[in-house]
Structure 1
Amino acid sequence: MHHHRSSTKDTKPAKRNSSKGRVERSSVKKVNTAAISKQDRLNTLKQLRDAKKEEIWQKKRFGSEEDRALPPKVVCLVGFHTQADPLSLKRKILSLCGKGEEAAKLPPHCPAVASLPNWAQGPGMGKPRVILIDPPRTVFGVLDAAKCADVVLCVLGPTASLEEPAFDELGYKTLTALKAQGLPVTFGAIHGSDNAMNVSAKKQAEARKFVTRYFHSELGAETRLFPAGTDEETKTMLRALAAATPKELTWRAGRGYMMAHEAEYSPDGSLSLKGYVRGPGFRCCHLTHLTGHGDFVVEQISTLADPCPLGQGPGMEAEKVVDELGAQELDLERLQPYDPTMAEQTWPSIEEMEEQKKDASSKPRLKSKGVRKIPAPGASADGEEDANMGDPDQAEDGEAMADDDEGSEEGASVAPSGMAGTEDHWDVSSNMTMEVPTSEAVAAEKRRREVLLQRSAEELEFPDEVDTPLEVPARERFQRYRGLKSFRTSNWDPYEDLPVEYSRIWEFEAFASTAVA
């Protein structure tokens, strides 16, 4: 065997700690920043730029200005089962944040602001804050609170089985409505009342498997679910909430919104709302919608002291008026005035009418054959020529009708009146011929009636389908409908067949450009 020997001359063994068996670490000396290479300096500057960029993006996601601290995250605690207890979980989170006395007196469905402790600090976010809200367990109450939420915390009961799902009937209905509206960042928590949590460890483990299966089947396997029975489990959930990045929802990106913490009504008829403004913000020149009450005029917007301060922020200690209504004129007309002309049918354009004239002139006109001009009795030759020259088409039509009348009189004198119907009481003489019906005609009429009956039954089953008639070609039956040369490339008017109510909606080509900055 060939063996390679070490080429180093220093064979001094490394010092080891006899008690732990580890190599002793030498003390770290102060790094000389002047000796850092150029590549290291570039990497350091890149990391600083990325951190600053991430901070700016975070402020934009939260709807905060760059010179102020980030607003707190809005966490909406939604209970999806009668065994779940969102109020108890909210009080537990507040007690872990150092607000135990306030949490015990906190009424239900009331928002509460808290600053998370240092152990729940998110990466690059500073000291995070949260607003906890437990809406009433109704569909519309949950939807209104979730519209302003950054995180939806789904609270489930501690027990579940094949016979009893983790979501009750109202829970499934609420979850369907939330999915249709649009869910922000979602987490799950298993927390119930004290009586429901006091079961054996074996039963808790079995029930937790069912709860996890129901939760992941409805909200996806990537959605995290945390048990929140003990303080340590709740702390783990809080760390995940602090590190969560809010998701941008497109339907609320262009509008300012706020969850009001306090509301004061004055005798003069004005309502004062306090809270953290999110999104683009508000302006007095625009009407503001209050959920469940309607649209109102904003008289004044001012900044107030932060109810949960992180430090001395600029412009947050004293009250400062940002915007006032003043002499600005407001357009309180929410809908356009009704225009009765919008219900009229669209007329063809001049170009379309000219094309139709060209097509009609290019096609040869068919004339009737075998029609002679017979002078009326007692009329002179000159009068005959004048009458015929005045309207030749009318004369031809009149002569044709005269021939039909003569034929009908002759047919009436020959055909008996009792042969107009058959033994099945069907009228086979509806085609204006008074001849005696044959067996072939009766059979054809029966087939035609059967087809009509069959089509009437299909019409009830498929009302959106139209069948072509039996005797008339489809190009003649549907000739009054406008045809398109190409369904893909032809011009299509999107306002042609809309209801009249749609004309009262204001239309903007670029809403962001129209809005006042």
Structure 2
Amino acid sequence: MSAPQAAHRPGAFKLPNKQHKAGRHRTKGQIDRENKGRQDAKSLSLRQKRSLSRNERRKVNRHERLVHRRRINDDFHNKERAPYLVTVISFSQELDAALIVERLASADPEASVLASERGNITYLHVPRFRARYGFVCPILAHTDNVLDCLKVSDIVLFAWPANEGLTDEQGLLMSTILAHGFPTAIHLVSGIPSKGKQRDKLLANVKDTMKEWNFVDDSTANLDTEQDGFVVLRNIQGIRKKPTLLQRRRPHLLVEKMERLDAEKGFCTLALTGFLRGPALDANRLVHIQGLGDFQLSRVDRKPDPVPGAKERIQPVSFYPDETQADLVTENTPDPMDAEQPDVEDLLKSGGAPTVTAKVPKGTSSYQAAWITASDDEEEQSGEDDDEDDSMDSDDSDEEYYDAADDVKGPGFLENEGDAFETATMASEAPGDFEDMEIDTHEVEKYRQERENVDFPDEVDTPLDQPAAVRFQKYRGLKSFRTSPWDPKENLPFDYARIFKFQNIKHTRKQVLAEIEKDPTPGSLLHGDYVTLYVKNVPSFIYDEWGTEMPMVVYGLLRYEQKMSVLNVVLRRHPSCDTPIKSKEMLIYHVGYRRFEAGAVFSQHTNGNKFKMERFMPTDDGPFVASMYAPIMFGPAPVLVFRRDQHGNEHLVARGTTLDVNPDRVIVKRVVLSGHPSKVNKRAATVKYMFFNRDDIEWFKPIEVYTPQGRRGHIKEALGTHGVMKCMFDNPLTIQDAVLMNLYKRAFPKWTYNPRVTRTKVIGGGMVNSHSLISLVTSASASVKGVEKMEH
């Protein structure tokens, strides 16, 4: 009998069998990524909340604050004290803005219609819905009017064409609206059959047109019959309102009536009446009239609501500002004894600058003579036509120019009428081939400069008539543009003593915005109040020149928003702009609720503590930053930039948003000096044409030189006395290379801020005749209960 077989015992290196996997399982990280931090509310008990980490508790608290803020906004807009303000924009020839309001007004026989004195506003009260509507039909040919109405509206109605797409002008207007932003949108169509192949074709055409402008999931509503108008009114009342950030943070009023009071010495008090919307308004705060500037209030009257259907009757109350009223101080008062640099006049008296004697025409002032002595050849040789102060390379003279510009005659001033007559006669005797041809020589020169800057970026020719050490005395060399230090407080211009700077702008912004969420004071005016604002010290000509159909919007300013500082905005060039835009060129900026004119400095939008200046607006779609002297704006806020041509028309050139308010942003201007290697011996090269005397070579000897192929080197010694030098490089170079040297100087914007911008026609406007809106609504109101004139 054999011995029993021993059981097998696995060794130490035995691997376990594979487990059966019943399907595909997700890892914990994948589950967390899919949930995106969301957790089941029932599973978060009190004990589990206490056991959360610090980061998790911060996320939970932030979510609770957002829910609370959303609830406050919903309650804020569900008060229904003010009528729903609706902007009507029609791109259809069959269904213009006036016809849309007519069909909506005739949808309910019990509705009543009222017309405002100003602003082209038509109020509609529908008792069946217990709702009130205010329809605004801006003139689409003026983009300023369209944007002003969109900034204060609750709803925007877009009427789309059924047979064809948008024209070029309509497309440019729509692109401007999308770049600026708008509230909740409702889309309308007309002339589509109820059934058949033609209906499917027209609907597909409308969908394709809307898809071009990113309205993919939005539905359309017909407006052919009275029943369709009834449905649209119901949709306006029931749709969720999405107010813009500008509407949630600043009180605003669309003016319906304007009166001029106490006119004296060119100034008056304007009584502006309308519905107040947004946060509470205090009589001590400043107000801003778009296109005019900032003003103080002398009194605020709360009046009864004149539109039928008001849920409550308010007794008239007047509020007056007290001693805590905000002042209109926009600039800081500089101390002339606190300047580090001497004054220009003192420098000239002390003999610090040489005196140049030149022959000038009879009657020429000393100021004109200073410009005449600077020859055009020197300006062309400098290669820096993008800003005027570089020809003389003196920032102090630039400040003196803008301070004395109002007291002297320009360089092209004609002394008598006879000279003007002779000049005009000579111009009329030009050859007939160019009589009908308008050539803007300034624009042609800008095209050439932009093309030269693209081919040879920042390259400048060394002048022959003066030493390079004098011409580029304010420039310096940097070992590394990214890591080399640059003190932001060094050699600041005089204008920096006039502006305001926050020690911690983020903390200040947080405090100012927190004031909006506080409970209003007893003397404040709330959303939906029908008020009259008495704005004092307004130019009297505004009352006569402001058209009755031009919307006027009044905004309440936040704290510090009237102070001047350096405003930085991030922009992108608009695809429709093909004109070269130079840095510091005067442009019209729409920044949030402000509209002003300024000359900004363009710079790259990159990381780091220094930013390279752009001589021209970048032609690609990349972002760039524009810095200018402007009032403080607590962003974010949309930004649109327009250019005014020689005919007075405005063209959209860029769009973007605000970046920050930071005077310490270091914008560095670069110039590149180029030389030609005449002899090359491995790593050594003899270079000429970069400098033209021995002293300049010794002056710029510490600065590094390089080649476009990536070779790095330094100046070893000067050869002779005519600007030939010997350079050593890290690697051998060829005779085809060019030797370059970078010099840097900080650039500052110019004080060209102008808050009063005249309204002109904008290219890209509309085709709608909204002038006959009131007459159409009046004629269509035979079936309406009654048409009344609004009593203020």
TM-score, normalization by structure 2 = 0.35
Whole-angstrom distance in 2 between the partners of 1:260 and 1:157: 31
Name 1:461's counterpart in structure 2.
454
- Listed as ranges, the matches of 1:203-218 within 5 Å are 206-218=201-213
- For residues 294-317 of structure 1, give each alpha carbon's deviation from its aligned partner in whole angstroms, at most 9, with x where no partner exists: 33321112322123365653xx42
Identify unmatched segments of 5+ residues in structure 2. 1-41, 43-66, 342-449, 463-471, 513-557, 561-792
Asked if the contact 1:76–1:153 (Cα under 8 Å) also holds between the matched residues in 2, the reply is: yes
Cα distance change, pair 201–337 in 1 and its aligned pair in 2 (3 A): farther
Q: Which of the numbers 71, 75, 84 marks the counterpart of 1:59?
A: 75
Asked if the contact 1:72–1:130 (Cα under 8 Å) also holds between the matched residues in 2, the reply is: yes
Find out whether 1:143 has 2:147 as its counterpart: yes
DSSP-derived class of the 1:280 partner: coil
Cα distance change, pair 217–498 in 1 and its aligned pair in 2 (3 A): farther
Give the Å deviation of 1:226. 1.8
Name 1:271's counterpart in structure 2.
270
- For residues 189-215 of structure 1, give each alpha carbon's deviation from its aligned partner in whole angstroms, at most 9, with x where no partner exists: 124xxxx88999765653343223112
Name 2:85's counterpart in structure 1.
74
Whole-angstrom distance in 1 between the partners of 2:160 and 2:117: 21
Cα distance change, pair 185–459 in 1 and its aligned pair in 2 (3 A): same
- Listed as ranges, the matches of 1:346-361 within 5 Å are none
Give the Å deviation of 1:76. 0.6
Whole-angstrom distance in 1 between the partners of 2:494 and 2:219: 48
Q: Which of the numbers 248, 254, 278 marks the counterpart of 1:259?
A: 254
Asked if the contact 1:97–1:115 (Cα under 8 Å) also holds between the matched residues in 2, the reply is: no
Give the Å deviation of 1:319. 0.6
Give the Å deviation of 1:134. 0.8
Name 1:3's counterpart in structure 2.
none
- For residues 410-442 of structure 1, give each alpha carbon's deviation from its aligned partner in whole angstroms, at most 9, with x where no partner exists: xxxxxxxxxxxxxxxxxxxxxxxxxxxxxxxxx
Asked if the contact 1:263–1:271 (Cα under 8 Å) also holds between the matched residues in 2, the reply is: yes
Give the Å deviation of 1:463. 4.0
Whole-angstrom distance in 1 between the partners of 2:199 and 2:245: 40
TM-score, normalization by structure 1 = 0.51
Give the Å deviation of 1:218. 0.9
- Listed as ranges, the matches of 1:175-324 within 5 Å are 175-191=174-190, 206-266=201-261, 269-308=268-307, 310=309, 312-313=311-312, 316-321=313-318, 323-324=319-320
Q: Which of the numbers 105, 119, 134 marks the counterpart of 1:131?
A: 134
Whole-angstrom distance in 2 between the partners of 1:110 and 1:213: 32
- For residues 473-492 of structure 1, give each alpha carbon's deviation from its aligned partner in whole angstroms, at most 9, with x where no partner exists: xxxx9xx846588948x877
Q: Which of the numbers 147, 154, 159 marks the counterpart of 2:158?
A: 154
Give the Å deviation of 1:71. 2.8
Structure with more of its chain in helix, by fraction: 1
Cα distance change, pair 277–505 in 1 and its aligned pair in 2 (3 A): farther
Cα distance change, pair 312–242 in 1 and its aligned pair in 2 (3 A): closer
Whole-angstrom distance in 2 between the partners of 1:342 and 1:227: 69
Percent identity, please: 19
Cα distance change, pair 261–128 in 1 and its aligned pair in 2 (3 A): same
Cα distance change, pair 52–512 in 1 and its aligned pair in 2 (3 A): closer
Name 1:91's counterpart in structure 2.
102
Whole-angstrom distance in 2 between the partners of 1:462 and 1:140: 37
Number of residue pairs the alignment of both structures matches: 326
Whole-angstrom distance in 2 between the partners of 1:156 and 1:498: 54
Which structure is larger by alpha-carbon Rg, 1 or 2?
1
Relative contact order (alpha carbons < 8 A, sep ≥ 6): 1 or 2 greater? 2
Whole-angstrom distance in 2 between the partners of 1:169 and 1:288: 37
Whole-angstrom distance in 1 between the partners of 2:494 and 2:192: 58
Cα distance change, pair 99–171 in 1 and its aligned pair in 2 (3 A): farther
Asked if the contact 1:142–1:174 (Cα under 8 Å) also holds between the matched residues in 2, the reply is: no
Whole-angstrom distance in 1 between the partners of 2:288 and 2:243: 21
Cα distance change, pair 218–505 in 1 and its aligned pair in 2 (3 A): farther
Cα distance change, pair 220–198 in 1 and its aligned pair in 2 (3 A): closer
Q: Which amino acid letter does the alignment assign opposite residue 229 of structure 1?
A: D
Asked if the contact 1:77–1:132 (Cα under 8 Å) also holds between the matched residues in 2, the reply is: yes
Name 1:332's counterpart in structure 2.
328
Asked if the contact 1:190–1:226 (Cα under 8 Å) also holds between the matched residues in 2, the reply is: yes
Whole-angstrom distance in 1 between the partners of 2:96 and 2:194: 16
Asked if the contact 2:104–2:229 (Cα under 8 Å) also holds between the matched residues in 1, the reply is: yes
DSSP-derived class of the 1:154 partner: strand
Whole-angstrom distance in 2 between the partners of 1:341 and 1:182: 47
DSSP-derived class of the 1:229 partner: coil
Q: Which amino acid letter does the alignment assign opposite residue 254 of structure 2?
A: M
Cα distance change, pair 501–70 in 1 and its aligned pair in 2 (3 A): farther
Give the Å deviation of 1:110. 1.9
Whole-angstrom distance in 2 between the partners of 1:274 and 1:139: 24
- For residues 4-60 of structure 1, give each alpha carbon's deviation from its aligned partner in whole angstroms, at most 9, with x where no partner exists: xxxxxxxxxxxxxxxxxxxxxxxxxxxxxxxxxxx9xxxxxxxxxxx9997643233
Asked if the contact 1:228–1:234 (Cα under 8 Å) also holds between the matched residues in 2, the reply is: yes
Cα distance change, pair 504–131 in 1 and its aligned pair in 2 (3 A): farther
Q: Which amino acid letter does the alignment assign opposite residue 294 of structure 1?
A: G
Whole-angstrom distance in 2 between the partners of 1:210 and 1:341: 70
